[in-house]
Amino acid sequence: MKAEGEVVMSWGLFNRLSRIIRPETGKTVMLAIDHGYFLGPTTGLEVPSKTIGPIAPYADALMATRGILRTSISPYGSPPVVLRVSGGNSIIGEELSNEGITTSIEDALRLNAAAVAMSIYVGSPYEHQTLMNLSSLVNEAERYSVPVLAVTAVGRDMKRDARYLALCCRIAAELGAHMVKTYHCEGFEEVVGSCPVPIVVAGGKKLPEKKALELTSDAIKDGAVGVDMGRNIFQSDDPVNMIQAVGAVVHHNVPVAEAYKMLQEAKKQKSSEKK
Ligand code: R5P
C-alpha cells in the first residue's frame, strides 16, 4: 500500500537513481562531457580521455555518449554513467531541435548505464518529435527499470526565464522523466516547486570560478538536487580542484567564499609543488 503522493517506482529504478544521487546527502555532482554529440571537439574535450581521467573520480556520475565511453573512459572503477541517447543534429545544421534517439536501451544496459538522458526542445520547430522521443524512451526504459533524465534544451531564440523553464520541466515530468536537467534562473524555486521530479542544473558557458560556485550554491538553495556541470569544470585551469569545490558546495553546503578560498589555496599548493 502506497501513501498518497508517494512515488511508485521499482526497486531497480530506486537503486539506479541512488547511484546518481548520493543517498547520504540527497545531492549529486554530475560531470557533463556529452557536448561533442552536437558540438564536436568542444574546448577542453578535444582529447576526452586526457581531460576526463583525472576529474572523473570526483564526480558522482558522468553524462556521456556511448562513443566517448567506449573510447575514452576506463570501465574499471568509473563513476555511474548517465548515457546520452539522443542526437542526430549539429551546431551548424539547419535545425538544432531535430533530434532523434540514437542508442538502444539494450546498448545502455550493455554499457551498465545508471540512467539514460535525452533532450527535449519545447517551443522549437521539432518540439513534438522530441516530446514523443521522450515518451517512447520512458516506455522502453521502464521495461528495464532504467531512469530517464530529460534535458530541457533551449532553442536559439528561447528565453530562459522561470515561466518557460517551469513549462519545460513540468512537461518532461508529466511525460514520465524521472529526473530533469535545466538552467538556473531568477525565480528558480517556482521551477522546482512545480516539477514533481528531481532537478539538476546545467552550468552553461564558462564563467569565472567564483560565479560558477555562486550558481551552484543558488541552485541548491533554490531546491535543485545538484548540478550536471561541464564547461565550468573541464574548462577551468584546475578542473580537479574545481570539481571538488563544486562538490563541497553541493554536498556539504560550504559557503561560496570558503569553497573559492579552498580552490585558490589548492591551486597555489599545486603550483608550488611544480616549482
Ligand atoms: C547539452 O545539451 C549537454 O547536455 C551538456 O551536457 C550541458 O549543456 C551541460 O554542460 P554545461 O555545464 O557545459 O552547460
- Domain architecture of the chain: domains with CATH: 11-274 (3.20.20.70)
> Which of 28, 31, 33, 34 has the most ligand 1 atoms within 8 A of CB, as the residue to mutate?
34
Q: Hey, which residues does 201 pair with through a beta bridge? A: 182, 227
pLDDT tens digits, residue range 199-232? 999 999 999 999 999 999 999 999 999 999 999 9
Atom number of ligand 1 nearest to Cα 227: 12
Q: Name the closest-CA residue to atom 7, ligand 1.
A: 202
Read off the pLDDT band of 171 (50, 70, 90): very high
Residue 1 pLDDT grade (very low, low, confident, very high; cuts 50, 70, 90): very low
Shortest-distance atom of ligand 1 to CA 33 = 6
Residues 56, 62 contacting (CB under 8 angstroms): yes
Q: What sign results for the dihedral spanned by CA atoms 46, 50, 55, 57?
A: positive
pTM score of the predicted model: 0.94
